[in-house]
Amino acid sequence: MTSTIRVATFNIRHGRPSGETATDNEQMGRTVAALGAEVVALQEVDARLERSGGVDQTVVAAEACGLSSYFGAVIGGPDGGEYGNALLFAGELLDVENLMLPSEGAEQRGAVVARVRIDDRDLTVAGTHLAHKRPDRPHNAAAQLDFLLAHLDDRAGPCVVMGDLNLEGDVVIPRLHDAGYSVVSTGPTFPAHSPRRRIDWIGHRDLALVAAVVPDVRSSDHRPIVAEFTDAGFTDPEFTNAAFPDDEVTDPET
């Protein structure tokens, strides 16, 4: 059987568990590691901010997973720290950019766009966190997704776009399809304690989906998505759109 690659996206909410007011960096690291992915896109990641204990959360998560990492700062904090997106990855980082997305009139948003080489396979990955809908700010998420997808047009080969898009399926799915991506089918991802909305997404191009799951974890207000892919052209009804065993990806004990 063709070998696979596992990816995950997770809005970690700067390590604050659902329903809690304090950050738990150790639990965050254990939860990310339990996803068992070779490429992980993280959103709402703090670096040296007081609210999360002054630590670099990208480093905490990467060390827990045994992966390399890149942090893309989007906003500077009042105490000299930063806030943004992170990418964890096995293998070699071939190139990376911290892409700022159009955010006029609202909080700045960004995407980490990188090409990684894992076991002699090159994969482009974009991890992003798009604008949240608020009554006092423009909702730029759809325009930001369009901008990101257009930015990826010139990148040939397998590609995964994932993150907290803050958009529902009626907006996300047609945009991804029109750009040449398939959409990983999952259940809702938010809020973590009783998911009702699907606002976290994984889209893929030139890859075949083997399995996907939304693990029941509570170390954030979002649940992560984990997906496993193999080479494009590989088809097997037993695996396509299947789910991992229920006990394979679980919330680690605190």
Give the CATH number for residue 162.
Answer: 3.60.10.10
Q: Classify residue 52: in a domain, yes or no.
A: yes
E-assigned strand segments in the chain:
5-11, 39-47, 68-76, 82-89, 92-101, 109-118, 121-129, 159-164, 182-183, 200-205, 207-213, 225-231
Q: How far apart are CA 232 and CA 222, in angstroms?
A: 30
Q: How far apart are CA 115 and CA 95, in angstroms?
A: 5
Q: Classify residue 251: in a domain, yes or no.
A: no
How many structural domains compose the chain?
1
Q: Classify residue 21: in a domain, yes or no.
A: yes
Would the pTM of this model clear 0.95, i.e. be above it?
A: no
Q: Classify residue 253: in a domain, yes or no.
A: no
Tokens of 160: 């995964």
Give me the residue label for tokens 């966190």.
129
Domain limits for position 210: 5-231
Q: Classify residue 152: in a domain, yes or no.
A: yes
Q: Classify residue 245: in a domain, yes or no.
A: no
pLDDT digit string, tens, across residues 15-42 = 998 778 889 999 999 999 999 999 999 9
Task: Find the largest Cα–Cα distance for the chain.
Answer: 52
Task: Please state the φ and ψ torsions of residue 176, each to the nearest 5 degrees.
Answer: -65, -45
Q: Classify residue 19: in a domain, yes or no.
A: yes
Q: Classify residue 246: in a domain, yes or no.
A: no
Q: What is the pLDDT along the chain (254 residues), one digit of tens a residue?
A: 368 999 999 999 999 987 788 899 999 999 999 999 999 999 999 999 999 999 999 999 999 999 999 999 999 987 789 999 999 999 999 999 999 999 988 899 999 999 999 999 999 999 999 999 877 776 899 999 999 999 999 999 999 999 999 999 999 999 999 999 999 999 999 999 999 999 999 999 999 999 999 999 989 999 999 999 998 765 544 444 455 444 455 444 33
